[in-house]
Structures are given as structure tokens and as C-alpha cells.
Amino acid sequence: MTPAPFAVADEELALLTDLYQLTMLQAYWAEGMEERATFSLFFRRLPPGRRFMLACGQQYAAELATRLRFREHHLKRLAGTGLFEEAFLAWLGAWRFRGDIWTLPEGTPVFANQPFMEVEAPIAEAQLLESLVMNLVQLETVLASKAVRVVLAARGRPVVDFGMRRMHGIDAAVRGVRAYRTAGLEGTSNVLGGLRHDLPLRGTMAHSYILAHDDEREAFHAFARRYPGTTLLVDTHDTLAGVRKVIDLMAEAPETGIGAIRLDSGDLGQLARESRALLDAAGHPEVKIVASSGLDEWQIAALLEEGAPIDVFGVGTEMGASSDAPVIDLSYKLVEYAGTPRLKHSPGKVNPPGRKQLFRRYDEVGRYAGDTLALRGEPGIPGEPLLRPLVRGGEVTREEMALAAGARERVQEALARLPAALRELDPGDAGYPVALSPGLDALVRTL
């Protein structure tokens, strides 16, 4: 018996959708509904405590959209549900995305009701992207938006991702590193994620390595001789005793050139101060202190506030699932069909109708001054138009992809240009001005 696969292969991704997308597609097909539709991807509300999100994953999702295909064996499995006509399945076998996708460049700060992405295509093409695109964009946006808070809290000190084991499955762990790279992390412990998404690999040692040796000193010696400049984990038995063993080791074997010690339990601020004092007194100001152990942006801020001499933060659990805000209220809504703007009226929900463009204005020193959400092509709107046509006629536009590169650098620049209050962990009542253009405002009123 051939074992069933564990991971999901690229060629299966067309099937990673909600059933209603396929039943709606069959209905559109049967009804002859082939007009162009525009769907807009946005979130209605920021998660509590957040004042911006980093839009991430939309380029990746757009590129994937151009590659989705239904294979013969997919169609057979769909036929087995009894819901689909043979002629429709044949049509689905020829389905491909031939439309346009406009996106914000990855790493752009976004606010409520701003489109990350607008998808324009015959309705059956644009509709089918909904579930997968939302899944893909949500993951990276959630993770990058959490990670950038951790980066801000660390005030320039390197932050390293240690979270692979606590992230939600294989894809989150690997694509998460892509989001972390965008957000400005310095490195990752995740081998496949780091290799694939070009973030430097970092690692120290585990308690198990110490415990497998008959004593800590022996473990330190063996590891340090093999990996000169390494980081030694000092808290397995008694942290300060561990630090003293590291100091002794450097005296006995200076060639090991210990790079850092890692603290992974206890009062990190106090232990960092005491460890720093021991190291400095022994003439080792060059040995850095790495701290880990359930850290999040608040704890990092508190540690730095109290003056803890920590040089590098290893962050896992809390960042890996964005524990305080693991989902965003993302929507992918029909905003135009057959040239007519569409609007859902249900209580408490308004979807800005029509094809749109997002304009961002800057003040005299280049800081964000406010945004205007406008109709696509509406003249006279001040500011920089942020949505760019990444996919045209089902093909990724090479020039646009080149323009969209550099998400990590874009985030660094954007952080400097965000109003200062929005960069605070707790921004209080600070908001960001987003206006509707005259054209969009008039359209909303008409509908």
C-alpha cells in the first residue's frame, strides 16, 4: 500500500476551496453568467489593540492564482460527490485564471476597509480564488503584523524566530518565515523556512543536550569546541552557576570564543543583569545575552524598560500563532459585476462598492498624512496610488513584480513614516485618517 501523502502538493491547491465556490461556479456556468466581476479583499476592523496591519502574502497568492488548474483526478473526485454535471467538470478542467489582480505591495501598512487586493475577471474565475486567497493572505498578514510589533518592542536589538514547533502546521511554519522576513526579524531557527525564504538560520542548544551529558560542564566543552562562537544555554540546572561554567570554559579554552549565553527561564531581567555582571567582571563584555521563554512584545518592552542587558530576543509561541490576534476579519467581497457596482446591505456591514484605488498622502517630511479610498480612475485625488496591477490577463507582470520586491525594506521605511503614535505598542486612541473620495462617497450614497 502506498502511504497517503502528509503534506498538500501544489497541484492539489485548486481543490483547496469551499464547496460553495464550486457549486456557485456550476450555477454561473449553467446560467451563462460570464461577465467580468471585481472582488475586493479587505478587513472591516483592526484587531483590538492594533492600529495598523502589514499587508502580506498577496503577491504570493496572486502568483499562485495564475497557476491553479484542476487535474483529471481532481475532477474524478468531484464527480464522486454527485453534485456536478459532466459538462461542467469538463469546463472546470479548462478553467484557469485569465483576469487581472491589483495588489498593494507586500509590507504596506493597511487600515480598516482598505483593499489589499482587487481581483477582476469573468465571475467564475474571480469567485474561485476567494477561499484560497483569503487563507494565504490571512496567514502572512497576521504573522507579519504580530512580528513587526515584536521588532518595534526590541528597539533595534535583533529578534530571532524560535516558533516553528508552536505554529499551526507545516505551511504556517514555512510561509511564516516569509512573513517574518518581511517584518524585519534577524533570523530563524526554522531550517526549511529560512532556506526557502532567505532568512539567516540561527540556533543554540536544547536542555536535552545538557541533560544527556553527565554534567553541564562536559556538555558546554563538547559543544563549544565543535562550534566556536556558539551560544550556550545556561539555565538547565542553576543559571548563574551555568554562567560561571561558561566563564571557566573561556579561561580553559579561549579558542571556543563563546558568542553568547541563553537564558530560557526565571526572572529574565534579573538573571540578565547578574549574568552580565559576572561576564563583565570576568573580562567578557563581548559575550552577548540571548533571552527566550514565552516572550511577546509586551514582555520585551518591559525588560528593556527595566534596563535588562539583553542583546538578542528569541521569540516563539506568542508570535508563532499571533496569540492575541490569531485571525483578522478578512473579507473578499463582490463589489462590481457586469459594470455595475454591488453592495451588501446587511446590518452593521458596508462594503465599499466598485473598482477602487487607494491613495496615500505624505507630509513635508515624508510621514503618512492620511489616505483616500477612491474609485479606480477617479481624477484629482491627491497622494500616491498604492494598488498596482500585478497580474494582467492571467499573467504575472514582470515589471510590477520587480517593483513589488523589497518588502522587508518597504516595512523598514514604512515604520519610519508611520505617525509616531501608531508605532506604540499601546497606541491609545490614536487612529489614522482614511477618507472616501467624492466619487466613492457619492456612489455609496446612491446605492
Task: Count the alpha carbons within 13 Å of 316 in the hemisphere toward its beta carbon.
Answer: 14
**For residues 351 and 332, what is the distance between their CA atoms, to the nearest angstrom?**
10
Please report whether residue 329 would count as binding its own copies according to CB under 8 A.
yes
**For residues 319 and 413, what is the distance between their CA atoms, to the nearest angstrom?**
22
Buried b (16+ CB within 10 A) or exposed e, 170-207: eebbbbbbbbbbbbbbbbbbbeebbeebebeebbbbee
Please report whether residue 1 would count as binding its own copies according to CB under 8 A.
no
Choice between 193 and 419, CB closer to its own copies = 193
Please report whether residue 223 would count as binding its own copies according to CB under 8 A.
yes
Sign of the four-CA dihedral 292, 298, 304, 308: negative
The only residue of 77, 252, 285, 350 in contact with its own copies, by rule CB under 8 A: 77
Choice between 17 and 299, CB closer to its own copies = 17
Choice between 163 and 184, CB closer to its own copies = 163
The only residue of 249, 260, 272, 330 in contact with its own copies, by rule CB under 8 A: 330
The pair phi, psi for residue 251, each rounded to 5°, is -70, -40
179 to 198, contacts with its own copies by CB under 8 A? 189-196
Residue pair 212/198 in contact (Cβ under 8 Å)? The answer is no
Choice between 203 and 383, CB closer to its own copies = 203
Burial of 77 (0-12, 13-18, 19+ CB in 10 A): exposed
Choice between 318 and 371, CB closer to its own copies = 318
Burial of 305 (0-12, 13-18, 19+ CB in 10 A): exposed
Choice between 10 and 384, CB closer to its own copies = 10
Which of 90-98, 204-212, 368-376, 425-433 is the region at the interface with its own copies (rule: CB under 8 A)?
204-212
Which of 18-26, 360-368, 384-392, 408-416 is the region at the interface with its own copies (rule: CB under 8 A)?
18-26
Question: Which residues, at least 6 apart from 136, have a Cβ–Cβ distance to it below 8 Å?
Answer: 57, 60, 61, 64, 175
Burial of 370 (0-12, 13-18, 19+ CB in 10 A): middle
Please report whether residue 422 would count as binding its own copies according to CB under 8 A.
no
CA 396 vs. chain centroid, Å, equals 21
Please report whether residue 357 would count as binding its own copies according to CB under 8 A.
no
The pair phi, psi for residue 41, each rounded to 5°, is -105, 120
Please report whether residue 202 would count as binding its own copies according to CB under 8 A.
yes
Please report whether residue 122 would count as binding its own copies according to CB under 8 A.
no
Please report whether residue 112 would count as binding its own copies according to CB under 8 A.
no
Q: How far is the CB of 79 from its own copies (least distance, A)?
A: 12
Total site size for its own copies, rule CB under 8 A? 113
Which of 104-112, 148-156, 284-292, 321-329 is the region at the interface with its own copies (rule: CB under 8 A)?
321-329
370 to 409, contacts with its own copies by CB under 8 A? none
**For residues 91 and 82, what is the distance between their CA atoms, to the nearest angstrom?**
16
Q: How far is the CB of 363 from its own copies (least distance, A)?
A: 36
Nearest 10 degrees: Cα torsion 74, 79, 85, 89: 10
The only residue of 342, 392, 417, 423 in contact with its own copies, by rule CB under 8 A: 342
Please report whether residue 63 would count as binding its own copies according to CB under 8 A.
yes
**For residues 205 and 234, what is the distance between their CA atoms, to the nearest angstrom?**
10
Choice between 349 and 367, CB closer to its own copies = 349
**For residues 227 and 231, what is the distance between their CA atoms, to the nearest angstrom?**
9
The only residue of 90, 222, 251, 416 in contact with its own copies, by rule CB under 8 A: 222
Please report whether residue 352 would count as binding its own copies according to CB under 8 A.
no
Determine the Cα angle at 330 with ends 178 and 123, to 5°. 100
Which of 73-81, 104-112, 355-363, 373-381 is the region at the interface with its own copies (rule: CB under 8 A)?
73-81
Choice between 49 and 433, CB closer to its own copies = 49
Binding mask 249-268 for its own copies (x = CB under 8 A): ---------------xxx--
The only residue of 34, 238, 384, 409 in contact with its own copies, by rule CB under 8 A: 238
The only residue of 10, 34, 215, 409 in contact with its own copies, by rule CB under 8 A: 10
Which of 6-14, 98-106, 298-306, 379-387 is the region at the interface with its own copies (rule: CB under 8 A)?
6-14
Please report whether residue 26 would count as binding its own copies according to CB under 8 A.
yes
Residue pair 447/353 in contact (Cβ under 8 Å)? The answer is yes
